[in-house]
Structure 1
């Protein structure tokens, strides 16, 4: 591709389920460097701590607040990352609009929306296009109408260099659709 790409607001290839929304803005078709997505993170969603051996990621919060983890903990626990501490004493942080997180390969990381409002972030993953296929298939799991099938998510993640350390969880806020 030798021409620039302009993606207007609301444009891009969208995947929407009852509570999740992912819009592909720049894909491997456009860039050799990275895929770029706009992601709506619903209340109660926790991606779970995970690590990529090859990929690097960038998260930029556009609206709302997300809890972020990005360090190797002193001790990994299988059930949850929110209490993890690094050897230097770092803890997960609450990040608001304008916050940016860069994650190199091999760094454990996670995000969760522990508020009662959706958060929106720009997400970039390199190299493309693995996370594009991953998101397409993950959205199918979320849209199955049977809640989040943790076994299906784990199998999907292993295929796409997403090595799970704690489980993905989605506990829909009271009165909303979806659930685990």
Structure 2
């Protein structure tokens, strides 16, 4: 019996010694509360619409060249048609390359988004770190990330602490009527 008691005590000691405190936050919710993030998103959207307009104009010009070639096809020699068709193909390639340079991986859109959003995300991550240290959390999950959380107990939600750390908590008065 004494061995069982010692084993049980050892198990409890081991469990409490190695128990880790954890919590989670919803960084997307936090970011949406930040005016800096909203401003960055608005600027990115404005840039994207401008680039989309440029690309659309380029597409329309090449399509017009195709329509013109089709209309004049019977009037052109084979060499003239091939030359104009090659020019159209070259223009299509230019449009696709330009589109890739803007919206492709490591394109201007991606780089601009990174430039504008990263400082705001860094603020959130620093606040999460402070909250984690203040609350002695060893692990903090991001509820809005790719990690699927089937169930979360609100007692472990530290989102409001991060909002408070960032100065984004609105004074909410409770009406007791």
TM-score bracket relative to the smaller structure: under 0.3
Compare CA radii of gyration and give the structure with the larger one: 2
Larger helix proportion of the pair = 2
Instruction: Give 1 or 2: higher strand fraction.
Output: 1
Structure number with greater CO (CA < 8 Å, separation at least 6) is: 2
TM-score, structure 2 length as denominator?
0.23
TM-score using structure 1 length: 0.23
